[in-house]
Amino acid sequence: RIRLYGPHTPIKPKVAQALAIILHELTTNAAKYGGLSARHGQVELNWVAVSEHLLLLTWTETGGPAVAAPSRRGFGTQVMETLIKIDLAGELRFDWRAEGVVCEIEFQM
């Protein structure tokens, strides 16, 4: 139910730690409310090097309940935004599609 696509990409330990927390938060939300909360739901995780030092990771959920943008930013979202901005010098973008959330994470490797 989880598919991973991307080239072997070495990253620094600090980057790996921040990514682990971010992916944990996305997975928890998917299991509670999103693509992994439904029997046939799925998550696809793709990554690609945009440049020598910039990676774009895309998290896409499908097959779960209909999605709508939240009315407020929760604690988990605030943690992810802080980690991306401060620890990874990157950006976090959400697209709240009815068929499932898409999250793009662009950061320094």
pTM equals 0.92
Distance spanning both ends of the chain, measured CA to CA: 27
pLDDT in tens, 27-77: 999 999 999 999 999 999 999 999 988 999 999 999 999 988 888 888 888
Query: Per-residue confidence at 3, pLDDT binned at 50, 70, 90?
Result: very high
pLDDT in tens, 76-85: 889 999 999 9
What pLDDT is stored for residue 8 in this prediction?
Answer: 92
What pLDDT is stored for residue 68 in this prediction?
Answer: 85
60 token code pair: 């896409």
Rounded-to-integer distance, Cα 85 and Cα 99, Å:
28
Tell how strand 42-49 and strand 2-5 pair up: parallel
pLDDT in tens, 12-30: 999 999 999 999 999 999 9
Rounded-to-integer distance, Cα 64 and Cα 25, Å:
17
